[in-house]
Amino acid sequence: MKYEPVLLKNVGVEGSRTLRVYESRGGYAAARKALTQMSPEAVVEEVKKSNLRGRGGAGFPTGVKWGFLPKDRDVTYLCVNFDESEPGTFNNRYLVEHDPHMLLEGILIAGFATKTVTAYIYIRVEFHEVFHILQRALDEAYAAGYFGKNIFGTDYSLDCYIHRGAGAYVCGEETGLMESLEGKRGWPRIKPPFPAIEGLFRKPTVVNNVETLACLPHIIERGADWFTSIGTPGSAGPKLYTTSGPVNRPGCFEAPLGLTVRELIYGDDFSRGMVGNKKVKGVIPGGLSVGILTGDELDCRLDFEDVRNYGLLGLGTAGAIVLNEDADIRRVLANVARFYAHESCGQCTHCREGTGWMYQIARRIADGAGREVDLDLIIELTFNMGMMPGLSICGLPDGAAYPIRTIVQKYRAEFEEHIRREEAARVEAAIKSRVPAAYSLPIWGQFVPQGKQATGGLGVA
């Protein structure tokens, strides 16, 4: 596959983290063009024309999002979402680790386009080394006059600060991020009002993620028509993909939007197949929240449209977690459910309780005490929580529901086989030990007489 790297063009170049190298390879020329030759409105229109969609998961058109800002606003803030706590995702970290000035130039262009006075980079607290890399780059940019007062001799001024988060998954949601930035508990806010109207410090605010902003210098430099020539209809531009798991070459790769999962796993330019030539049992293709693909669904295109044909929530971050044929799907389900039960902020009752219930059911199945009715119960729970039924403040319960639902639905026969085998083993053990069969079903390490209710934290028999 022949493709000219765009976002990763400086990766592998000695000194790629420095301003000197970035400028020598055309860095900040696009920002200069935007600030000295274009109006903010013209930049917004160019981004709209490019059909750049957010790379953080939702895929909302960036230029349209900027257009929601009130015309009569006096202050605008820009929040850069660098929390990147979605499991299986590390494309933003990889980009900033190797080329931090590309992000900073994108911030400068977005700030000018939205008339931002202050930008905040909200970085995941675990990114210790990357934080220092980014801070050094920001110091270089300030020293060169790319941030501060009267940038490029114009009337535009922009300050930028790096804020380290507190390790909460829910702060990847834009309003939870803003609450954390304000020094409060990272609880998502009820919407409306939306951030474009009332965001950080109750002022109009734009929230974009790292990869989205890194695309801006290339759109301004080469034009919207060039950007839309890459990818698939409705899903324009380059994309960073990551792979983890038992593949021969895990890592971060760049390709146009629309790369198939099969190409990502088996392509010579990408992951180069499975370790030991094992079969693919499943792939979580866009970060944990989007759901799972089976080994028979690898022709799914990773763009904003085709993924929905496979029952997925969306493209997500394109951070693929690969499972081989040896993976125990019961343990996969339990691990997924445990993550969301732990990361729910607890603000919405159905999310706080629902994610906990799903984890308890999944753990019971994984521990060999599951029943077939548990599979129906866990699927029912996934349909009764989330923003889509209109029951939650943020999308975390939707993100919890899709992987759990798709794992159970797509691998149901395997779950049922395990359950039937374990039930038969319990009956056989009861017969051998001469224990009445009515006492043979262990729930949470106890024998429960038939006809009695086993609560076990679930409240179900």
Which residues, listed in sequence order, are joined to residue 138 by a DSSP beta bridge?
none
Q: Tell me which amino acid residue 143 is.
A: A
Q: In the chain, where are the structural domains located?
A: 19-228, 234-326, 330-411
Residues 313 and 316: their CA atoms lie apart, in Å, by: 8
At 289, the pLDDT band (50, 70, 90 cuts) reads very high
pLDDT at 433: 80
At 369, the pLDDT band (50, 70, 90 cuts) reads very high
CA 315 remoteness from chain centre: 9
Cβ atoms of 406 and 327 within 8 Å: the answer is no
Residues 234 and 142: their CA atoms lie apart, in Å, by: 37
Residues 392 and 40: their CA atoms lie apart, in Å, by: 36
204: left (phi over 0), alpha (psi -120 to 50) or beta: beta
CATH 1.10.357.10 is right for the domain spanning 234-326: no
Per-residue pLDDT reduced to its tens digit, 301-339: 999 999 999 999 999 999 999 999 999 999 999 999 999
Which residues, listed in sequence order, are joined to residue 118 by a DSSP beta bridge?
77, 159
Q: Does the pLDDT value for residue 197 go beyond 80?
A: yes
At 437, the pLDDT band (50, 70, 90 cuts) reads low
Per-residue pLDDT reduced to its tens digit, 150-171: 999 999 999 999 999 988 999 9
Residue 184, SS3 per DSSP: coil
Which residues, listed in sequence order, are joined to residue 61 by a DSSP beta bridge?
53
pLDDT at 436: 58
Residues 344 and 283: their CA atoms lie apart, in Å, by: 24
Contacts 24+ apart (CB under 8 A), 431-436: none
User: Topology of domain 330-411, per CATH?
Assistant: de novo design (two linked rop proteins) (1.20.1440)
Per-residue pLDDT reduced to its tens digit, 60-107: 999 999 999 999 999 999 999 999 999 999 999 999 999 999 999 999
Residues 227 and 296: their CA atoms lie apart, in Å, by: 32
Residue 459 sits at φ, ψ, to 5 deg, of 75, 20
Residues 393 and 350: their CA atoms lie apart, in Å, by: 11
For the CA atoms of 285, 215, 225, 154, the dihedral, rounded to the nearest 10 degrees, stands at: 160
CA neighbor of 167 nearest in space, from 155, 192, 185, 188: 185
Cis preceding-peptide flag for 192 (omega within 30 of 0): yes
Residue 20 neighbours by CB distance under 10 Å: 10
CA 2 remoteness from chain centre: 27
Residue 123, SS3 per DSSP: strand
pLDDT at 428: 86
Residues 254 and 27: their CA atoms lie apart, in Å, by: 19
pLDDT at 432: 82
Per-residue pLDDT reduced to its tens digit, 370-423: 999 999 999 999 998 877 677 789 999 999 999 999 999 999 999 999 999 998
Fold matches, 19-228 and 234-326:
no
Helix ranges (DSSP H) in 215-260: 216-222, 224-228
pLDDT at 257: 96
Residues 243 and 298: their CA atoms lie apart, in Å, by: 14
DSSP 127: -
The fourth-level CATH superfamily of domain 19-228 is: NADH-ubiquinone oxidoreductase 51kDa subunit (3.40.50.11540)
Extract the tokens encoding 416. 């049922």
Q: Does the pLDDT value for residue 460 go beyond 50?
A: no
Cβ atoms of 191 and 79 within 8 Å: the answer is no
Radius of gyration of the chain (CA): 24
At 224, the pLDDT band (50, 70, 90 cuts) reads very high
Tell whether pTM > 0.75.
yes
CA neighbor of 116 nearest in space, from 46, 66, 178: 66
